[in-house]
């Protein structure tokens, strides 16, 4: 039997994809709007999606669908319960970007602690050229060495961030789950991590429990000289509350790679021009060349393992 494989948003990954070794027909689209999902997947046996949602109504309309391969780790764009009811298998990609995301998180920490953007802008605007002394010291510069880093989420990426942080000489706190009644060995209560950390970095998936993980109350617990890093999912953070905390000086800085809506078609509070000490990157922390190649190889391996009856990286 020849499987029809449809990749809904091939344009999200800049890497060469080898074709599966099983008999198949391969169809790919640069991008797919939500109202095009059913039309494009009709007759497909295997769907590949990075960020295009496949919801219950679409799943109910696709009688031939047997497998959904998510070209990412997070699967919040798939209705998993509907897949279980229909017997549709779901697989994701894992650990492919742990080095890329961890390095991006450290880059944001360094840039914020050392005021990299402000100093770059001063040089570009001619302030150094007009200076009396040999250097500019208009903004504070802080080392990572000796700083306390609170890591929320100790999966593959969180552990890689920890490894890099320890190499910099940082003190690391592993946060326990928010609201947990018991604190596991090697963990620190969530609230205590917020209060003690110079930097808090988020590396958890988006679930009903983690949505708005960091809101007004949590930001109020953080020190005014602390910074927040989010390279996980935008909806982990109350964006309006974060914008206000930065604007009012209740938080020293933030490095954000993800937003609640991507791309941000409507005005996001964190894209306002008057927010100080904020760096926003366009959800590309994961996207080093090596990480992208690791990702596409897992996509193909998931399809090939499914054909053998032993689905790799199974979620459903």
CA distances, 179 to each of 159, 189, 190, 212, 241 (Å): 22, 9, 8, 13, 20
203 as an active site residue: the answer is no
Q: Alpha-carbon distance 217 to 209, whole Å?
A: 16
Taking the C-alpha atoms of 295, 301, 305 and 307 in order, what is their torsion angle to the nearest 10 degrees? 110
3-state secondary structure of 117: helix
45 as an active site residue: the answer is no
Q: Which of 10, 89, 98, 283 is catalytic?
A: 283
Q: Alpha-carbon distance 263 to 209, whole Å?
A: 24
Beta bridge partners of 202: 152, 230
150 token code pair: 């609170």
Give the containing element (helix H, strand E) for 193.
helix 190-196
Q: How many CB atoms lie within 10 A of CB 153?
A: 21
Beta bridge partners of 5: 26, 46
The contacts of residue 258 (CB under 8 Å, 6+ apart) are 230, 231, 232, 233, 234, 283
Q: How many CB atoms lie within 10 A of CB 112?
A: 23
89 as an active site residue: the answer is no
The contacts of residue 281 (CB under 8 Å, 6+ apart) are 104, 108, 255, 256, 257
Q: Which of 233, 250, 265, 308 is catalytic?
A: 233
Q: Which of 19, 55, 262, 290 is catalytic?
A: 262
User: What ranges in 248-311 are assigned the alpha helix state H?
Assistant: 289-307
Contact between 75 and 255 under an 8 Å Cβ cutoff? The reply is: no
Dihedral sign of CA atoms 252, 261, 214, 80 in order:
negative
Q: Alpha-carbon distance 68 to 49, whole Å?
A: 8
Task: Give the residue numbers marked as catalytic.
Answer: 233, 262, 283
């Amino acid at each position: 039997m020849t499987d029809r494989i449809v990749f809904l948003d091939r344009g999200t990954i800049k890497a060469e994809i080898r074709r599966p070794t099983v008999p198949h027909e391969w169809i790919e689209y640069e991008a797919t709007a939500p109202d095009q999902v059913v039309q494009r997947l009709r007759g497909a046996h295997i769907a590949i999606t990075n960020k295009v949602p496949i919801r219950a109504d679409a799943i109910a309309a696709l009688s031939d669908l047997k497998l959904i391969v998510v070209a990412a780790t997070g699967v919040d764009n798939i209705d998993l319960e509907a897949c279980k009811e229909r017997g549709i298998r779901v697989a994701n990609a894992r650990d492919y970007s742990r080095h890329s995301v961890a390095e991006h998180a450290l880059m944001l920490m360094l840039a914020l602690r050392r005021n990299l953007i402000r100093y770059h802008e001063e040089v570009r605007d001619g302030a150094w050229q007009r200076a009396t002394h040999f250097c500019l010291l208009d903004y504070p510069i802080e080392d990572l060495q000796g700083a306390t880093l609170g890591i929320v989420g100790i999966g593959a990426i969180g552990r890689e961030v920890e490894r890099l942080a320890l190499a910099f000489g940082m003190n690391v706190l592993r946060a326990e789950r928010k609201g947990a009644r018991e604190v596991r060995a090697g963990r620190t209560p969530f609230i205590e991590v917020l209060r003690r950390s110079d930097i808090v970095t988020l590396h958890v998936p988006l679930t009903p429990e983690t949505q708005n993980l960091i809101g007004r109350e949590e930001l109020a617990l953080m020190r005014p000289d602390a910074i927040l890093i989010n390279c996980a999912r935008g909806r982990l953070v109350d964006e309006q509350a974060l914008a206000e905390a930065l604007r009012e000086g209740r938080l020293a800085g933030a490095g954000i790679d993800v937003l609640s809506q991507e791309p941000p078609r409507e005005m996001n509070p964190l894209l306002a021009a008057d927010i100080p000490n904020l760096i926003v990157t366009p959800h590309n922390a994961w996207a080093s060349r090596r990480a992208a190649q690791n990702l596409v190889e897992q996509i193909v391996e998931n399809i090939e393992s499914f054909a053998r009856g032993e689905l790799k990286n199974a979620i459903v």
